[in-house]
């Protein structure tokens, strides 16, 4: 493995390339990345990096987003089969039909969608800015939110804004399932619980707080908010409800902390498809470039730019 790591580092330096990795990537990929983050952070980094060659260690829709906002840069993904169960829950034809049944609606798409779906959307959002962006839309507008029903319900609970919500979900967060927080808190007393909004339990926490369980130690957080919370917290024990890959990054930030997954089953098989060998091959051969068709890219860029502008 050491020789492979040295080869990757050598190729990266020779080609003046940058490696971007999502929080859910395998630990060895994260350790080689120039930047690790969530979808929003990776989008910002792709737009501002001076490197013209980007190796995107994540899933396909993320590489598409990087290509859309940085059309003059070459974006390569080490594994073309690294898809997303959530982005596959709605396609272009389904969105167009949904829009036709709800004319004059504002379409708000989670960034976990294909470039084609983004091209038919008015806004893109991530878990860290979805509430802010929905609040920025005039209250007189009808909103279609897609594709994650749990994030949509969380936004409704957080904003008091009723939306039409697509019936999709992420298979990773579905694996976590319904949580009996009273039982979980008994197992981990005095522990901070960090819950991603894609988990069904996130909206339950907002709506049932102080009724069925003590919500004082439960925090609904995007992935980057989880990172900052752990970094700045006086606590040294955390339970994380999202994909388990983020725990590697959290432990590097606070080595002395005890960090537990709420569910050991919360593993994204797609995120784990990228290996050191595949990254080395991508760097060496520069194949599997992601290039979104120009017409689609132009239309998809507007909702992405709105997302970035409202995230400052």
For the chain, give the percent of residues with pLDDT over 90.
62
* H runs (alpha helix) in the chain: 2-15, 27-32, 39-48, 60-69, 92-101, 115-119, 130-136, 149-159, 171-176, 181-187, 200-208, 223-232, 246-253, 276-285, 294-309
Q: Which residues contact 9 (CB under 8 A, 6 or more apart)?
A: 32
Residue in 74, 71, 39 with CA at minimum distance from that of residue 148: 39
Residue 208 banded pLDDT, cuts 50, 70, 90: very low
Band of pLDDT at residue 5, cut at 50, 70 and 90: very high
What's the average model confidence in pLDDT over 165-173? Answer: 87
Whether the CB-CB separation of 228 and 254 falls below 8 Å is answered with no
Query: Residue 212 above 90 pLDDT?
Result: no
Both tokens assigned to 251: 């432990």
Integer CA distances (angstroms), 86 to 12, 60, 152, 198, 256, in order: 31, 12, 13, 10, 34
* Contact partners, residue 296, CB within 8 Å, separation at least 6: 115, 116, 119
pLDDT of residue 214: 47
In this prediction, residues 261-289 reach a mean pLDDT of 93
Domains of the chain by range and CATH?
A: 2-83+271-291 (3.40.50.10800), 87-171 (3.40.50.10800), 173-261 (3.40.50.10800)
Q: Indicate whether 55 pLDDT > 50.
A: yes
Residue 200 confidence class, pLDDT cut points 50, 70, 90: low
What pLDDT does residue 172 have?
79
12: Cβ contacts below 8 Å, ≥ 6 apart = 18, 19, 55, 283
Average pLDDT over residues 122-137: 93
**How many Å apart are CA 182 and CA 98, to the nearest integer?**
39
pLDDT tens digit sequence for 101-112: 999 999 999 989
Decide: helix, strand or coil at residue 226. Answer: helix
Residue 279 is predicted with a pLDDT of 97
Arithmetic mean of pLDDT, 186-196:
80
Q: Which of 236, 176, 237 is nearest to 204 (CA)?
A: 176
Contact 25, 58 (CB under 8 A): yes
Peptide bond preceding 147: is omega within 30 degrees of 0, i.e. cis? yes
Q: Is the pLDDT of residue 207 over 50?
A: no
Q: Tell me the C-alpha distance between 168 and 87, whole Å.
A: 9
Q: What is the pLDDT of residues 224-267, one digit of tens each?
A: 889 999 999 999 999 888 899 999 999 999 999 999 988 888 89
Q: What is the pLDDT of residue 117?
A: 97
What is the Cα–Cα distance from 118 to 108, expressed in whole angstroms?
A: 9
Crossing angle of helices 246-253 and 223-232, in 10° steps, is 20
DSSP state string for 115-169 = HHHHHT-SEEE-TTTHHHHHHHS-TTS-EEEESBHHHHHHHHHHH----EE--B-
What distance in Å separates the CA atoms of residue 37 and residue 5, rounded to the nearest whole number? 21
């Amino acid at each position: 493995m050491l020789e492979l790591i040295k080869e990757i580092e050598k190729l990266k330096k020779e080609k003046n390339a940058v490696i971007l990795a999502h929080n859910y990537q395998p630990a060895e990929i994260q350790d080689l990345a120039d930047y690790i983050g969530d979808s929003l952070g990776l989008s910002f980094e792709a737009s501002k990096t001076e490197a013209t060659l980007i190796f995107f260690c994540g899933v396909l829709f993320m590489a598409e987003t990087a290509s859309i906002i940085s059309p003059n840069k070459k974006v390569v993904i080490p594994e073309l089969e690294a898809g997303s169960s959530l982005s596959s829950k709605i396609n272009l034809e389904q969105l167009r039909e949904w829009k036709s049944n709800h004319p004059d609606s504002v379409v708000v798409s989670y960034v976990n969608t294909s470039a084609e779906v983004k091209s038919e959307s008015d806004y893109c959002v991530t878990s860290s800015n979805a509430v802010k962006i929905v609040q920025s839309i005039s209250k007189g507008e009808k909103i279609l939110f897609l594709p994650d029903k749990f994030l949509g319900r969380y936004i409704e609970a957080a904003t008091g804004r009723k939306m039409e919500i697509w019936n999709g979900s992420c298979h990773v967060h579905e694996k976590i399932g319904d949580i009996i927080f009273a039982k979980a808190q008994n197992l981990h007393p005095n522990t901070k619980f960090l819950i991603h909004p894609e988990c069904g339990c996130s909206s339950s926490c907002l709506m049932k707080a102080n009724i069925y369980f003590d919500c004082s130690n439960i925090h609904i957080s995007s992935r980057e908010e989880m990172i900052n919370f752990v970094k700045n917290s006086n606590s040294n024990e955390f339970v994380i409800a999202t994909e388990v890959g983020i725990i590697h990054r959290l432990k590097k930030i606070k080595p002395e902390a005890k960090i537990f997954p709420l569910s050991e089953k919360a593993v994204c098989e797609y995120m784990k498809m990228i290996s050191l060998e595949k990254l080395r091959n991508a760097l060496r051969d520069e194949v599997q470039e992601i290039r979104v068709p120009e017409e689609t890219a132009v239309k998809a860029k507007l909702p992405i730019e709105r997302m970035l502008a409202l995230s400052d």
